[in-house]
Every structure is written in C-alpha cells, then in structure tokens.
Amino acid sequence: MPLGRLQPIWCIPLVLTMFAIDYFSGPDPTFPVLYCLAVFAGAWYVGAAASMWMAAIAPVFRIILLATLWDHADTFSVFTTLLRAVFVALIALWIARFAEHERAVQRHVETLEGLLPICAFCKSIRNDDGKWEKLETYITDRSEAQFSHGFCPDCQRAHYPEFAPLTAAKD
C-alpha cells in the first residue's frame, strides 16, 4: 500500500459506507470483510486512533441493528460481534504501527541516500529548487544530525599558526 497519510475526516465516508453495507447485507454475514478492509485502511492511512474509533463504532451500529431492525439480538450474536471487533482492533493497531514503521524507514532512506550536487570549493549543496545552500543547513533540515564547528589540526596550523604549538602538544 502507498505510504501516504490522510486527514481523519476521510474516515467518515468509510464509516458511512460500512454502515450502509452492514445494513443492506442483513444479519447473516458471519465475517464482515468490508468492515475489516475499511478499518485496516483507516489504520494504514490515518492512524491508530481513527482505526480504533472505526473498529468500535461499527460493532455498536451492528448490535443496534441486530436488536432493533433484524430482531437477532441473542447473546451469541452480540458476543461474536464484540469478539470480532476486538480482533479487528488488535490487527488494526498492528497495521497502524507497521505503517508508522514503514514511514520512518522511508524518511530514513530519503534522508541518508542519494547523490548530492556539492560545490567543489565552498561545499554548498544544490537543493531540489536549484538553489545553493550551506552544507550544514541542508543536512540539518533533512536529518537528525547537528553540527558543532571546530578546526582540524591541519587547518588550525594553516589558518592560525600562532595557536599551532598548543594543538601540536595534544596531537
């Protein structure tokens, strides 16, 4: 599945579709496949909270239908509906966690891989917009890396020879 994210508002059409399919399919389906697909899609694209909301509200709606319109609200039907909801919710949590892991891996790969056009003199990097920016800015904006500046011993000797004896003793 693609790794994109959607706003939670997109769960409303999924839930309404689930309700309509549940209503028109009647009390007989033993395992609501479309209900699972909607909850799992919510887990992948929106996140754990939305999928838990969807996994909880659909069984409540089904129990209301069982009790009011279908007159099948026996203990076994209610129990199996709730049991399915628990299992679907657990799988949805796993899918949401897996989706977050996939997004983190994708961010990591995008951050650390690829060719960087870098200036041979000033070490600036050309970004995606074609503008040149400092190496430190480019890497800081795209990774977790932070920079601390100092001088290597060779540069210190070349640019600050008056301090060279201090570092020569430390080398």
Give the model confidence (pLDDT) of 86-112 as tens digits: 888 888 888 888 988 888 887 776 665
Tell me whether residue 92 is exposed, middle or buried, using C-beta atoms within 10 angstroms of its C-beta: 0 to 12, 13 to 18, 19 or more: buried
Q: What's the mean per-residue pLDDT of the chain? A: 78
Q: Is the pLDDT of residue 79 over 70?
A: yes
Give the model confidence (pLDDT) of 142-170 as tens digits: 777 888 888 888 888 888 888 766 544 45
Q: Is the pLDDT of residue 141 over 80?
A: yes
Task: Report the number of secondary-structure helices (H) and strands (E) in the chain.
Answer: 7, 2
- Please provide the distance, in angstroms rounded to a whole number, between the alpha carbons at the two ends of the chain: 54
Tell me whether residue 109 is exposed, middle or buried, using C-beta atoms within 10 angstroms of its C-beta: 0 to 12, 13 to 18, 19 or more: exposed
User: What's this model's pTM, rounded to 2 decimal places?
Assistant: 0.52
Tokens of 114: 């690829």
Q: Of 12-21, 36-45, 58-67, which gets the smallest average pLDDT? A: 12-21
Residue 111 carries which side chain, given as an amino acid letter?
Answer: T
% helix, strand, coil for the chain, step of 5:
65, 5, 30
* Per-residue confidence (pLDDT) for residue 133, from 0 to 100: 93
Q: Is the pLDDT of residue 70 over 80?
A: no
What band does 132 get if pLDDT is binned at 50, 70 and 90?
very high
* Per-residue confidence (pLDDT) for residue 167, from 0 to 100: 46
Give the model confidence (pLDDT) of 19-53 as tens digits: 777 777 777 666 666 777 778 888 888 888 888 88
